[in-house]
Every structure is written in structure tokens, then in C-alpha cells.
Amino acid sequence: MIVAKRAHVYPQISLAASDLTDVAIAAAPAGLGVAEALVLARKRNAGVIAAGASCVLRDDLVRATSLGLGALRAAQLARALPVVEPTASEVKVRRLLATGSPLVVVRSARGVIGAVSGRLAGLRLAEASAAGRVSRGLPALVRELLGTIGRIAEEQDGRAYLVGGLVRDLWRGATLDRRDLDIVVEGDGPVLARRLGGALGGSVVEHRRFLTASVETPTFGRIDVATARSERYESPGALPRVLPAGIAEDLRRRDFTVNALAIELSSGDFGLIDPFGGRDDLTRRRLRVLHPLSYIEDPTRIFRAARYAARLGLAPDRATMRAQALALRLVPYSALSGQRIAAELELILGESHAGTILLRLGRSGAFRLLDAGYRFTAASGRRLGGLAEALVWARGRGLDVDGVGLVALALADSRPAAASALFARLGFTGGPLTNLERAHATARGLASRLAAAGAPSARARALRACAPIELAWLRLVGGREVRATVDWFAGLDPRGVSLSGDDVVALGVPRGPAVARILAEMRDARLDGMLASRAMEEAHVRQWIAKGG
């Protein structure tokens, strides 16, 4: 047995960056393709390919190949990795890894030596206490609930984590007024959901295919519970295949670093897990994808990015902008359904800056995901700019207007066939599709008829056959006089006359079509100022009967 000597000064081991390198880097020509670069990486047992001045991760080459993108240039998947001198301290390397970088490149004056991964540096998932933020940001009842969820998970030999926007907003210090919780479980999510539903007196809906379940509770609203899982995308834009995994893989599959945060619940310490530098990005007000192929795997993330940027005041970094540009160069995505895009548009319409978000998407070229040949014009921009106000107007008057339908009309160009294809691409069928096609085809002619109509009754007749979305669209694209007319019409009493159908029958009008005819005639006469009271309506009916109808 060796015993340390008291008061003896022992040498301290101080590791430099060159001592920590555990990832080989292979040099390659700048124009090398993805497939060739992956062959080279495997041959050299390299984790990084240095294609010219670009560093490409082997993991990204594998991901691109599995998506069928072997023909891309490897440099298009480049990452901006931090670079240090060989003599840089271990502390400096650790700090760079803690910001979310997957690797730190070690380079001397003579060239690249290698790279350091978090694995060799002993850097596990970055953890920090979030107890103070949980205490300040969540009511005591919710904190108790989170503790209960953690205990239930431990009883099942699992671990539970709070994830999603709630964690992000807790770290931002935002005011939290929602009750819904997102829970991830290393274990069996649906089983935990059933236990939780029983404890809270809630109902449970399971989605076994996706390893998820929802618990509807009277006190806490909806609690979504998911088994921690990994995802694999087999083609660009397709829905992924999911497999059970640990929390590290679950966070790795997410869209942006600021959404790849988790709070551990099982220990009761509320430790924050932040493997990709989401905290730092929130501080810097930066929106960052987790890897260069993120938007290709799921192009709907482009819409989500615009929504988060507007709501949270975040700006995408250069790598994220390059990732979006690459994804849009690869349209069309045959596996991407229009209904998924429509769902994202619906969420955008619920934002306070919906018009601004849609305009930014249009200018970025995002709507080419609906049609590879789509061109966003100045007219499209003007229509999207007024769309939010048109929806507020419609809802304020009780008109049931589909917001996504109004977006579709705003995006459609003047060609009827192209417009119809766009509407169908977003999932419209049957009556809703017919209404959109009619609104698109007739708005200009209807505006002309309204301008030419002399009597109020003639204007009302022209608008009476319109579906609510046609009225909203006409108001959105019409001039000042058209908007005033639509406003006037939407404010009219739907009945229009004092007498009811039974009143008219009681005065002697036979039941049947004649009742509708006389009511319509009186409604027009009221609008034109020819009838001003119930007594005048009754006199009109008697006169009508006397003339034989």
C-alpha cells in the first residue's frame, strides 16, 4: 500500500488541448462529394473531414447519405467548429464544448492535429441547477406535481424530465400563464401516463405508435408524456421512424438548441440539462439548428423557426441560414404533405405578429415548399400584410373564416389552375375548396358589380350568396369603397325585416316558396328605404296578396 506523504508537494497534471484530441481529421479536396467524403472518413477512421477550409462531421455525412444526398458537396454540410492552439488549456476546451459545439479543433501553425470531443474531456451532459427558476416561475402546486412525476418514474425504474417550451421560457424568465406540461421518460411513457392519470383523476389517451400519451386533468390541463426516443429520417421531408432511447438522444432529435433543454425530475434537484448550448443562445438571442441537415429532414421547421424568431426575439445564426438555403434549393419534397404545412400556418396565425412572420417566410422563399416554381411577388406581400387585420375583422363579426384558406388565397397567383393546385396541396377539398376557387375567380368581377350597383338592395344581393371567406377575401383585396360596402353588409341584421315567416302566413300568404319571396322582397324594400316599420311591412304583404302575389 502506498501512502501519500504529508506536506509533500506533488506535481500537478495539466493537460493541454493536444493531449485531449480523440477525433482524427482527414484532409480532402474542397469539391469532394458527400459519398466520397464518407468513404474517406471510414478509410482514415476520421470523425471530421477537412474539405478545403470547411470542417464536415462524419455524423453529418452518414445522415446525408441515409437521406439519399450522397451527390451533395461535402462542404455544403460544413460546421463552424471552434479552433484552439495545441497549448490551449483543458479548461478552455471544456468551456468551448459546454457552449454546445460537438468538437473543438486543435490546429497548430503546421496544420490540423485533431479534434477534442466531449467524451474524452469527461464532459457529460451539461447540468446546472434550475431549482431557483422553477421555484420563481411555477406555482407550488405545479412544483409538487413535477416531484410526483419524478417519483412515479423512479418507481418504474425510469427517469422523468420536463422538456419543451416551458423549460425554455423558465430560463428566459418569461411570465408563464399556461398549464400544459411536456414530460419525457427514460422508460415507458404511456405506463407513467396511466399511473399519473389515476393519481390526478384524469383521462388518458395513448399513441403507442409514437410512444406517447396525453393526460387530461381538471387541475393541470393537459400533460403530454413521451418515451425518450431517437428519430431516423429515411427520406427528405418524411415523417421519422422512432425508437426508444435515452434523454441525450431525445434532445439530439429536436429542432433548435433553445428547445433542446430538459429539467431532471427524479432526483428532486431540478437539474438543467443543456447539451447544445441552448442557454447561451437564449442569452445571445440566437436561433440555431442542431445540425446542417435539420431543415432537410423536416422542412416544416422553417415555419417553426420564423414563428420562434418573432415570438422570442431571436435571430438565426449564419449556419442556420445556410441550412435553410440548402433545404430550399432541394425542393420539391415528395414526402412532405401539404397538411403538415397547413398545420404550421395555423400555428403562425395564432401569433400576435402573424402578418410579419408570413411576410418573412415569403421573402425567404419558404412557400416554394408548396410549389417548387412558386414566386413570391410584391402583390403577395401586400395581401399577407393585410391578412391578420382581415381575420380580426371577420371574427369580430362572427364570420367563420378559415385562416389557412385566406393565406392560400393571398399566396395564389392569377392563374386559376395554379391557384386550385395550391388550395388542394394545402388539403382543401369539397365545399371549402369550391369556396376558395370561387373567391379567387370572382373577387375582381364582384368588386365591379358592387361599384355599378345603384341601390343598397342590389349590393346586398350581390354579397348575399358569398361564403364568409369570400367576404373576408373581398375586403382584403378590395379598394376603399369595396371595403366600406362589405363592412356595411356584414353589419346588417340577418333577418332584415320585422315580420317572420309565421307572421306572413298568418296574414294570408300560403306556405311554401311564396313566403321566402315576399320576405326577400320586403328585405330589399327595407334596405332601399321604402319600408320603415312593421306596420308598413304588414301593409305591403296585404297589397301583395291583393295583387295575387
CA-closest candidate to residue 466, choices 401, 541, 549, 544: 401
* Mean pLDDT confidence for 146-171: 93
Mean pLDDT over each residue of the chain, to the nearest integer = 91
Q: What is the mean pLDDT of residues 303-330?
A: 96
CATH 3.10.580.10 in the chain: give the residue spans. Answer: 17-117
For residues 251 and 275, is the Cβ–Cβ distance under 8 A?
yes
108: helix, strand or coil: strand
Q: What is the pLDDT of residue 124?
A: 45
Domain with CATH 1.10.3090.10 in the chain: 285-376
- Spatial neighbors of 106 by CB under 8 A, at least 6 apart, are 17, 18, 20, 21, 83, 84, 85, 86, 88, 112, 113, 114, 115, 116
Residues of the chain with CATH 3.30.460.10: 127-277
435 three-state secondary structure: helix
Distance between CA atoms of residues 272 and 131, nearest Å: 9
Fold category of 285-376 in CATH: cca-adding enzyme, domain 2 (1.10.3090)
- Residues forming beta bridges with residue 530, ordered by sequence position: none
Tens of pLDDT, residue by residue over 93-147, are 988 988 889 999 999 988 889 999 987 544 444 466 788 888 888 888 999 999 9
366-404 tens-digit pLDDT: 999 999 999 999 999 999 999 999 999 999 999 999 999
Which CATH number is 17-117 given?
A: 3.10.580.10
Q: Angle at which helices 456-464 and 480-490 pack, to 10 degrees?
A: 80
- Which of 291, 126, 260 minimizes the C-alpha distance to 182? 260
pLDDT above 50: residue 453:
yes
Q: How confident is the model at residue 53 (pLDDT cuts 50, 70, 90)?
A: confident
Distance CA(310)–CA(523), nearest Å, equals 47
Q: Which fold has domain 127-277?
A: Beta Polymerase; domain 2 (3.30.460)
Residue type, 529: G
